[in-house]
Structure 1
């Protein structure tokens, strides 16, 4: 009866948003059906005494040093191998186009296709099973092998990055991660994990990881497809099965990451549950290891003093197999913590991949902390240091930022790029603590704004560790970085509603974080609503905006506000920057965010609790149009919208269509979706463009 949950738990549904229970099972191991990992007694936001609160008149200065990716079009000139440039907001504004968002709003729907505005077209760039590496066989769902999957496009694509090839405005590298697998929708006749063959388990392991695919523009349009005219130089599959990663930073080589297979504690096989990510100014890709906990078994057999640390990361310690276990220990014993108790510590990091080095080892940066990373996005500060913003995607977990010790060198010279590749290996890690500026009694959990008409306040970045120096009493630097959640608990960080993607605006330098949802807010002993998380039983989520004081991204203080509180615009508990709610689109469960060159914020959703398919939305975040949110596209039934990525010339929008047809009861033979090929559901990456060749959005 070990897999009974795979058939019965789908009836329970997801406790946040309207994600199907099949997605909950495979994506995060039914995290919402387990106790909240954060059991700390951190004070409620409204009860925190903030000495800075009297300084509400601090000027909200614009930030500097954002990255902008160039395609040699009107936005920016080619940037060489780095394919990126550090620039000030003023420079970005100069390159960005003027004008409002003018596309025809797409209505909510439940169609089994990608729906785009009138005057736009979309096409599939690549899908699960398509060849990536030379020698990859054509995909056949009935003849899958681990060796084939290791050369084919992986399953359930999430993050999308598009990096221009130096000197060629019509070629780029598409970098996509593969978050998780759904064996129900991968293998005919699936019944239980125990019934899978070891080879099928190895196929699933190989379907995790990342893909690097060279793509080319079709004519002079905004459409892109895999490069066919010559042998791709950089195509690569990175898998959880066999790809070696190098640990960097203070934890590398420490006792906490040594295993029998790797007594040096420096080489890790594979990457797990990669979610969102970002593209660095030096042309690499960052990817976050998120729900890694669900892959491990044997937590009941570890030492008693280790169990609380595993529990804080959602790893089951009361039974050998957690509910819905993937049973990967049958294929690789390293996933059995009873035999290899440190293996879990080797996951939960930010991964950096250099797509222009197809044979090099990707790296896991321990200086950036270990938690359930949604992703990381980098901005270059005034003083030249790089700052990465990160969210820990769990109910009641935290926002973080990392500031590098070294400074970014804005050059494509080989020596400069070699230097820049070390920037994330050492620095200072902070966690956010925020306060509201209204009387806590005005925040009643209904989502209604306080007397001043908006949710806003101040925040502090609390230093956790710098280099090898810990600022958390009772924890060494290695402890802080390996068990970062516990460090955040210890310093009283603010519990947020599932902080996911966090992105700096290249135009203003302000930071935008998606708070997806948290239906546990205000229930039982859980933290009640506060000004930064103003709704109890928050099923729709909100957007959190940060303005660093004096525009200093390396500083310790900031102001914040909520420009959007998501949901049905007709409902009293929603807010759209003060814009007329009768003119905006309904939105639920924001997940990933991105910017176009004009500074418009694009938001993709995951788990739409309003009844329609998930989609992609856009809104200005400055001026009179701030909050005028409009739906740009929808994805097929059962799917989540991931990405998005807008090219710097604004001619193409890429999204990853993740888990189409992932609906309870679906299978390969009885699919709930037949996107994209009309037979059974396959995750894939889609590009959308304007048919007249103009910029997307406006």
Structure 2
């Protein structure tokens, strides 16, 4: 997400539990040491839980690799703050694929570099600000469907210097508003390898744009609930998905797109809005999109603009409750409506990564709520996975849990169900609870976190990793916004990556052990801040995107807003490490060379979303909101988000 739009968000959570930073401060005070972010208490518990570097590596049901790489063979690339520079290691090459505005469906309108493409054009073109991404093979590693999120839009979308507005900053041009709406969402694009290059098949019947206008089905416990009813539907259907950030995927080959900062699109004039509105941070301004400003235009149909004003008495009070969900898309069925899976909870979803997939067992999906002092969740399916008879609606039944961390390196998953008397006293049914998932987390004392974002699960050990991007609103260790064991720094300007292991390595476990795997920091910071001993070869800040490849290589991407040693505004990057080779250790001054910088993006960008082809010879990653004129680098073109395709010069595996 554009780091500028994150500024100014107020703390909304109201949990009685100490925050993660407070817990880690207790560890530091008690033990007087952190080795690479791993408190002594947490280290002992984590190692004692049977965490083995190679545990399960040959488990045919666990998805682990039987051949964990011995090392990362590439040399770490230098950091940069240069304009329009894209850096990969020696022996690798890259190309640019599917930048914003690339035509993929319909009449294939060409991208207009002056911003004059119409709303009708944008509906047929790749959206803006690429984010989460996944590759679904059609012909193994030679042809497949690239599915990607488009998180938000910015001023480059419009002709001239920006959109047409009135004196109050409200949009006045209906076509520009529709163009904005259609630049959000998801793209499904068929691609194929042609020699050493990748190309788009513009004739593919799978190519598809999913936008804020696309009709979707609401499923699960909240389907038909009174809190979801609008003039458009009795709570069974809705239109669109918005602020699509992180992603997930399922073993039945569908794509999970995550609705994150929905509060940026809706407005309310209510002084005391309903809790489902207030707890999501919806206010009178949002992010300044104000799509509701053109409501009443003669061309408006079915309240397509009016629905973004959820003020009491306007008729669309419940519209925002249709957003903030996990949306499931089947990329190989272009005529099938996406489904909003309400059993997985409503909050600002960042990622939704499944744990290890084992036949005959339920599946856990791990999810972060990307806001300061919000929570970490998991959803465990009620049914066991049956690869011979997959249930396409497996995500409609299960239990949603929220995490509570303890200072001794242990934690618990608290079920958000009406079996809990506290929740039963507050909510009349599960539909109401799920619409108000954040409030349920408050009530059960979940641990406030430092913006939990993407999650990833090691295929070799089953350990779950989560990025805690930053939290500059932690002010002193003694206040209610201070440190805790899993969020240990005040303020946490550079973020960290946390690791969690389920008891018994079971998806349905209600207890876990945890530690901190690596802390972001400038290399020059003192040891009290640079807890992982990072050097110029791997210093980073703002960990965000996260992905394990099938071999067990962890790829860490950044959305940085804090200084590093190579500039006050360092370019974002992607690093790699093989956690299984470290055993139960975290990154420390002694082993930090295991963490290497693989990619550096252009100025002002966020590096986000990564996936590979099954043969591990092609990597796709996204560059969001680049500055300058990237990717053309000619000094005059508008910058365009795009997918970067990385391959080795010798055609081998990326390692």
CA contact under 8 A between 2:277 and 2:321: conserved in structure 1?
Answer: no
Matched pairs, number? 602
Alignment partner for residue 614 of structure 2, among 644, 648, 666? Answer: 648
Aligned to 1:160: 133
Could you tell me which runs of 5 or more consecutive residues in structure 1 were left unpaired when the two chains were aligned. 1-18, 69-74, 76-85, 438-456, 662-671
Alignment of 1:240-319 (within 5 A): 240=212, 242-262=213-233, 264-297=234-267, 299-301=268-270, 304=272, 306-316=273-283
CA contact under 8 A between 1:576 and 1:629: conserved in structure 2?
Answer: no
Give the Cα separation in 1 of the matches to 2:53 and 2:229: 41
1:351–1:607 CA distance, 2 compared to 1 (3 A):
same
For the pair 1:675 / 2:646, whether they are aligned, the reply is: no
Aligned to 1:533: 487
Aligned to 1:224: 198
For the pair 1:424 / 2:395, whether they are aligned, the reply is: yes
Aligned to 2:300: none
Alignment of 1:159-178 (within 5 A): 159-165=132-138, 167-178=139-150
Which secondary structure does the structure 2 equivalent of 1:559 belong to? strand
Alignment of 1:15-414 (within 5 A): 23-25=2-4, 30-44=5-19, 58-61=48-51, 87-89=60-62, 92-94=64-66, 96-111=67-82, 112-140=84-112, 141-165=114-138, 167-184=139-156, 186-190=158-162, 192=165, 193-219=169-195, 221=196, 223-227=197-201, 231-240=203-212, 242-262=213-233, 264-297=234-267, 299-301=268-270, 304=272, 306-316=273-283, 320-322=284-286, 324-330=288-294, 332-338=305-311, 339=314, 340-379=316-355, 380-381=357-358, 383-411=360-388
Alignment partner for residue 456 of structure 2, among 482, 500, 503? Answer: 503
1:659–1:114 CA distance, 2 compared to 1 (3 A):
same
Give the Cα separation in 1 of the matches to 2:611 and 2:487: 27
Aligned to 1:694: 652
* Structure 1 residue 98: Cα displacement: 2.6
Higher relative contact order (CA 8 A, sep 6+): 2
1:355–1:87 CA distance, 2 compared to 1 (3 A):
farther
Alignment of 1:491-570 (within 5 A): 491-523=444-476, 525-570=479-524
CA contact under 8 A between 1:60 and 1:549: conserved in structure 2?
Answer: no
Aligned to 1:83: none
TM-score (norm 2): 0.86
TM-superposition CA deviations, 1:595-636 (whole Å, max 9, x none): 123312100100242231001110121235963211111111
Give the Cα separation in 2 of the matches to 1:428 and 1:65: 27
* Structure 1 residue 646: Cα displacement: 2.8
CA contact under 8 A between 2:23 and 2:488: conserved in structure 1?
Answer: no
Give the Cα separation in 1 of the matches to 2:360 and 2:250: 17
CA contact under 8 A between 1:395 and 1:498: conserved in structure 2?
Answer: yes
* Structure 1 residue 97: Cα displacement: 4.9
Aligned to 1:458: 410
Q: How large is the RMSD of aligned CA atoms in angstroms?
A: 3.0
Which secondary structure does the structure 1 equivalent of 2:7 belong to? helix
Give the Cα separation in 2 of the matches to 1:268 and 1:62: 46
Aligned to 2:298: none
CA contact under 8 A between 2:558 and 2:608: conserved in structure 1?
Answer: yes
TM-score (norm 1): 0.81
